[in-house]
Structure 1
Amino acid sequence: MRKLLAANFLRLKREKAFLAGLLFMLAVGMLYPLLISYNNAKGAYQNHIDDGFFSSAVLIGIVLAVFVGLFVGTEYSDGAIRNKILVGHSRRAVYLANLVTCMAGGFALCAAFYLPMLGLGLPLLGGFEMDIRRALLTTAAIFFLSAAYASVFTLIAMLSQNKAVTAVLCILTAVIFLVVGFQIYNRLSEPEVYPNYVYEVGGAVGESVEMENPRYLKGAKRQVYEFFFDFLPGGQSIQCFSRETAHPLRLSLYSAVVTALTTAAGMALFERKDLR
């Protein structure tokens, strides 16, 4: 497997999708603190480095989907995966080598965002407004999240032999994760009651009564929504981005579980796959 990893990392350095992703994350990481600093100079309200620091949680899923889909998809289109198995490498080793490479790529993409964000953000915007321990745990949760995304996309890419289809499926999966996460977030954000308020119509003043919100989730149903909001990568992306990570350690644990489950499922299915 060491030779497989060496070959993969050598190819990774020349992979255009990966290099483009690095440049994109680097550019966004530089742009955020500059824009926040510019807005601070113009407006009365002062933003901090927190505002935008965790944006990578939303970006990483899409960028990784493109990178993994094209990186692994190229292996199939070039016949590299079939050749690796023909020369004696086990399917398990081939799968794990691609997974480790994609995970490493994900970590590098996250780092490409955070290095300029910290390098420019700290001198321009000052330190974190939120608790530093929570900021560190949320950042760690995003790295675990990138590993989970890489694992999901590797599963898809290793089971699809069409490069174009693989890229589309990975991107579509990333978008679906985010949409589902946002929908769950909206349901969990529903207020329990609609507050009373004073209004004026045609000169007449009235007051509404406090009403119970029928869309408010209660009991077991709310617990199910909360579980999937924590467990699914899309839900974690929304939580980290909005800085509403009440339990960042739990998010990291769930990402590790997603990574383990998708890796086990992917290897089992790849063992049975007919390679043409």
Structure 2
Amino acid sequence: MTIIKALNIYKRYWQNLVIENASFNIEEGRFYTVLGLNGSGKSTLLNVLSGRVTKDKSEAEIFGVPLGEDLKEKRSQIAYVSENMSIGLGLNVKTFIETYATQFDDWDQEYFEYLNNHRKLDLSKKFNDYSRGQKMQLFLLVALAQKPKLLFVDEITSVLDYKARAFFLTEMAKITKSGGTVVLTTNIITEVHKETTDLIIIKDKRLLYQGKKSELFKSFIKLKDQDTKPVPHHPALFSLGLDGLEQNNYLIEPRYLSESMKAFIDHSGPNLGEVFIFLTEGEFANE
């Protein structure tokens, strides 16, 4: 089922164009990763979809309700986490959680305690006494315990250590297994490869690709030098540089693959980071 329909999302701040003509659908039970270079419009897109900023000259629906209208009972099914969130600086965290939990019929206190047993946040502290990473973990804990049908996560993974990132990505993926949906923006690409089912890729304020990760990977073939034999030259080859064995690695679109190149195919295929580099630095035609 489609839970978000977006048609020509367009947003401008004063004279600065931030996102232009982005059209896509978001389906239930999927893990969407929004990728783009810094300043490409990723966070703005999430802010528009979550209703935190108004859209300009565009149409969108969330759970069948036009964006901008009152979501009413659907509001409790949506969670949003961002590095810019905060609560009253002097508020005791335990008090905040007790108050926050009363807003959600599906709040799962047992699950919250399970999560915090792993992350070990001191709930007796005040929010302002937490480190930057602990603050983000707190907001992820309460968002997950809310049991949302739709979870937006904006650029928070960069402030978490590797262990915390791995833990929360695993927990986010559990939402999709129960029919919920995750929409995540991040710059730490390789770590979301496993959980990601679908990609939204933005380049120069415009939507470059939206679809299943598996379909995008069919658009690229990875080649690498074989011992002392280099990959045959072709102007469509995109260099990924040297690997750990000091061999050159390349990506190429299947339509440009020649017979002489087939012996150089790396059948392990590219990773998400390599595809992203090609998309943002190369000349990819999304036909």
Q: Which has the higher contact order (CA 8 A, sep 6+)?
A: 1
TM-score range, shorter chain: under 0.3
- Higher Cα Rg, which structure: 1
Higher helix share: 1
Task: Please give the TM-score of this superposition, normalised by the length of structure 2.
Answer: 0.25
